[in-house]
């Protein structure tokens, strides 16, 4: 059984950073986000390219990114070498942020671009692997397609929804998908055909898929609320370090 050391290490670092940041007094926390988030107006401050990838604006933001990192990261870690995994993770995050920079003057934080990069690569290299992200087992490629359709819908019809960097997601997804072709072109091409098949399945089974994702979203939202309380409480207990 794979240990998924890189995936768990990245999750641990992200959670630790979150706890440290949110344990700080509000003025200090605001200064941290100002100093380490990424934006077009400060793009020459190169350290922000990396630090922004480990900052999260809320417990919910952290939870959903880490959930995606766990599911997609562990699949990809089993399929590619460490250097490829880390390259996909960080370069997808960087390119995702730069894509967002072209569409907005706002600052951006979070591992979303990194996670979508992992998703893009894994859905092409292991499209039929089962994932239980929405309670019921679904092919990884189908879950990826649902994410892509959702992001595309939001970008075109509700671009300000949730104050989320959707263009960063798309940038990361495309980057990870390109990496998949460099990792294993033959498998990636097969993955494209599986994704096309998933699109056809969605056309005919959209009500059923909608029900499954609806149930899964409700459960995840409940877990998100509980973990939010746990994370903010833990951060509060660490406030003595400041």
Cα–Cα distance, 19 to 193 (Å, whole number) = 42
Q: Is 112 one of the annotated active-site residues of the chain?
A: yes
For residue 41, give its domain range.
5-241
CA-atom Rg of the chain in angstroms: 18
Per the confidence metrics, is the pTM higher than 0.85? Answer: yes
Q: Decide if 51 contacts 94 (C-beta within 8 A).
A: no
Nearest to 58 by CA among 221, 171, 224: 224
CATH of the domain at 181: 1.20.1540.10
Are 107 and 37 contacting, i.e. CB atoms less than 8 angstroms apart? Answer: yes
Note the pLDDT tens digit of each residue in 111-158.
999 999 999 999 999 888 887 655 567 788 888 887 777 666 554 444
Q: What is the pLDDT of residue 113?
A: 93
Lowest mean pLDDT among 24-28, 57-61, 62-66, 212-216: 212-216
pLDDT bin (cut points 50, 70, 90) of residue 1 is very low
Catalytic residue (choose from 56, 61, 166, 169): 166
How many domains is the chain partitioned into structurally?
Answer: 1
CA dist 164 and 4 (Å) reads 28
- Give the per-residue pLDDT at 71: 86
* Residue 155, burial from CB neighbour count under 10 angstroms (0-12, 13-18, 19+): middle
Residue 240 has pLDDT above 90, yes or no: no
Confidence of residue 242 (pLDDT cuts 50, 70, 90): confident
- Whether 160 shows a pLDDT value over 60: the answer reads no
Residue with tokens 């459960």: 219
Helices 140-157 and 112-125 cross at an angle (nearest 10°) of 140
Over residues 59-104, the pLDDT tens digits come to 988 998 998 899 899 989 998 999 999 999 999 999 999 999 888 8
pLDDT at 16 over 90: yes
With 70 as the cut, is the pLDDT of residue 210 above it?
no
Direct distance between the N- and C-terminal alpha carbons of the chain, in angstroms, rounded to an integer:
41
The active-site residue out of 112, 122, 168, 177 is 112
Active site residue 122: no
């Amino acid at each position: 059984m794979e240990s998924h050391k890189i995936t768990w290490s990245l999750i641990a670092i992200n959670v630790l950073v979150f706890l440290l940041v949110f344990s700080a007094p509000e003025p200090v926390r605001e200064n941290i986000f100002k100093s380490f988030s990424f934006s077009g107006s400060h793009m020459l401050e190169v350290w922000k390219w990396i630090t922004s990838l480990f900052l999260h604006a809320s417990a919910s933001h952290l939870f959903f990114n880490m959930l995606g990192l766990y599911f997609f990261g562990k699949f990809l870690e089993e399929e590619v070498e460490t250097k490829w995994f880390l390259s996909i993770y960080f370069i997808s995050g960087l390119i995702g942020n730069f894509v967002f920079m072209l569409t907005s003057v706002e600052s951006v934080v979070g591992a979303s671009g990194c996670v979508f990069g992992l998703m893009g690569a894994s859905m092409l290299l292991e499209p039929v692997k089962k994932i239980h992200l929405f309670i019921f087992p679904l092919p990884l490629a189908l879950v990826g397609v649902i994410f892509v359709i959702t992001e595309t819908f939001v970008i075109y019809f509700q671009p300000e929804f949730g104050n989320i960097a959707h263009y960063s997601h798309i940038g990361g997804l495309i980057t990870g998908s390109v990496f998949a072709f460099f990792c294993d072109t033959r498998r990636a091409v097969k993955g494209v055909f599986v994704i096309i098949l998933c699109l056809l399945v969605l056309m005919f089974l959209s009500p059923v898929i909608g029900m499954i994702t609806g149930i899964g979203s409700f459960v995840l939202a409940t877990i998100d609320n509980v973990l939010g309380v746990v994370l903010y409480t833990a951060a509060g207990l660490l406030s003595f370090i400041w």
